[in-house]
Amino acid sequence: MLDLIIKNGSCYIDKDLKSQDIAVKDGKIVEIGKISGEAKEIFDAKNLTVLPGCIDTQTHFREPGSTDTEDLHSGSRAAIAGGITGVFEMPNTNPPTSNKVEFQKKLDLAKNRMYCNYAFYFGATADNGNELANIKSLEGCCGIKLFAGSSTGNLLVAKEEDIEKVFQNSSKVVAVHSEDEEILIKNKKLIKDGDVHSHPIWRSEECAISSTRRIVKIAERYKKKAHILHITTKQEIDFLSQHKGDITFEITPQHLTIYAPDCYNKLGTYSQMNPPIRDKTHYDRLWYAVKNNLNDTIGSDHAPHLKKNKEKIYPNSPSGMPGVQTLVPVMLNHVNEGRLTLEQFMNFVCENPVKIFGIKDKGYIKQGFDADFTIVDLNKVIEIKNENIESKCGWSPFDGYKFKGTPVATIVNGEIKMKNGKIIGEPKGKSLRFS
């Protein structure tokens, strides 16, 4: 007997929507077509669209160290509530995930506590080159995270010679927070106390493009893969469009949805993040990148902070906002409004993450692949409300926004874990596997 049959859905298969049933057994897709066999559970997907499980390739779940703000369990609840079946989680925890001992501890923390599937970045430091060279086959490791600017403790790798060491030793994709630390320090005098509008002046366009040029130069010198996270400037878009191949990059939903000064007028420090939300000229260029398939991924950069901290007087307010729960509805709304196609969205959150990072058996609805699905109602309008946010932080920058298109079910490893907004059963997420 089959474990699950998804019937009557419009399924995203081979870059097209097809009316097919999907049979699942032991967490795998075993048949696609017209299926009449018996199953322990039938999911009727009539009038719904069945997508491969969406992957968020940039999240911060704050464990260990800041579990009052988020932890692996609560972050994974937010993920599946938003239709995300797999996450890549960041190493800037306390202690940082920058050696194999701490990495194993995080894997242990995740076991039987996360609803979604997961992988963790290994944090680069100025002096852990030997470890970086030996993590190619490390279980649950999606890549190396390099903070070229704006981080804490030993995870800040700001000097060019130290960045070189990271790339020289890297045995996996290096994902980069790309800001120039020297320029950040120099620009500190431009900060206006109490005025978050000065955030993108301090963290300037030059700060971003200077760092990105340096990262690309070094990655190409050593013939290594670099994935530049949360690109925010028109200068970077124009530069990176000339350096494709082993250089890939991400844009976040928030940088495609809000822009300065409006966001700072409306949200104040709640719209503060690094790199910052910039003005509409940059926003327009980011959309140019999306429309022309220049970027490779969409990642949320889910970085929650408690309200009491976000409400501190700028610049004492921390940077970052939650986003793993809203990535899919925000982007589906953009699909509905014609800003990108469903195929492009699937490339950004399914197919390209699989290709760039070498994820096994994910990202496609294919026989033999893992049974991860994001089932959406493309016509349903929802209103984002702070009280419905699963993250411990309890807020969203999109509070009060109405979006057309939303996840109505999340299936992880063949089990329904979210249906109509309700989280079901126990957390049984597994570590993602990589080639």
Pair 373, 353 in one domain:
no
Pair 270, 330 in one domain:
yes
Pair 46, 64 in one domain:
no
Distance (Å, whole) CA 310 – CA 308? 6
Domain limits for position 160: 53-357
User: In Å, how far from its chain's centre is CA 385?
Assistant: 21
Pair 251, 376 in one domain:
no
Pair 180, 319 in one domain:
yes
pLDDT above 90 for 398: yes
Pair 45, 60 in one domain:
no
Pair 305, 414 in one domain:
no
For 241-282, write each residue's pLDDT tens digit.
999 999 999 999 999 999 999 999 999 999 999 999 999 999
Distance (Å, whole) CA 233 – CA 304? 23
Cα dihedral 287, 354, 14, 4 sign? negative
**Residue 353 parent element (H or E):** helix 352-357
**Does the residue 433 lie in any domain?**
no
Examine the fold and report which residue of 322, 357, 392 is the final residue of a domain before the chain moves on. 357
Pair 129, 232 in one domain:
yes
Whole-structure pTM over 0.95, yes or no? Answer: yes
Q: Give buried/exposed letters for 53-62 (b at 16+ CB in 10 A, else e).
A: bbbbbbbbbb
Percent of the chain with pLDDT over 70: 100
Neighbours of 129 (CB within 10 A): 18
pLDDT above 90 for 202: yes
**Does the residue 146 lie in any domain?**
yes
**Does the residue 289 lie in any domain?**
yes
Q: Give buried/exposed letters for 203-217 (b at 16+ CB in 10 A, else e).
A: bbbebbbbbbbbbbe
Pair 160, 242 in one domain:
yes
Per the CB < 8 A criterion, the answer to whether 408 and 48 are in contact is: yes
Pair 227, 274 in one domain:
yes
For 291-324, write each residue's pLDDT tens digit.
999 999 999 999 999 999 999 999 999 999 999 9
- Count: domains in the chain: 2
**Does the residue 189 lie in any domain?**
yes
pLDDT above 90 for 149: no
**Does the residue 173 lie in any domain?**
yes
**Does the residue 42 lie in any domain?**
yes
Q: What is the mean pLDDT of residues 175-183?
A: 97
Looking up residue 19, the CATH number of its domain turns out to be: 2.30.40.10
pLDDT above 90 for 230: yes
Q: How many CA atoms lie within 13 A of 297 on its CB side?
A: 30
Per the CB < 8 A criterion, the answer to whether 117 and 431 are in contact is: yes
Per the CB < 8 A criterion, the answer to whether 252 and 299 are in contact is: yes
pLDDT above 80 for 225: yes
Examine the fold and report which residue of 357, 392, 414 is the final residue of a domain before the chain moves on. 357
Pair 185, 251 in one domain:
yes
Q: What SS3 state is found at 27? A: coil
Phi, psi of 100 (to 5 degrees): -70, -30
Distance (Å, whole) CA 423 – CA 378? 20
pLDDT for the residue 151: 78
Q: What SS3 state is found at 4? A: strand
Q: What is the mean pLDDT of residues 63-88?
A: 98
Looking up residue 213, the CATH number of its domain turns out to be: 3.20.20.140
Question: Confidence class of residue 153 from pLDDT cuts 50, 70 and 90?
Answer: confident
Mean pLDDT score across all residues of the chain: 97
**Does the residue 103 lie in any domain?**
yes
**Does the residue 394 lie in any domain?**
no
Pair 277, 375 in one domain:
no
In terms of C-beta density within 10 A (0-12 exposed, 13-18 middle, 19 or more buried), how is residue 280 classed? exposed
For 26-52, write each residue's pLDDT tens digit.
999 999 999 988 999 999 999 999 999
pLDDT for the residue 158: 93
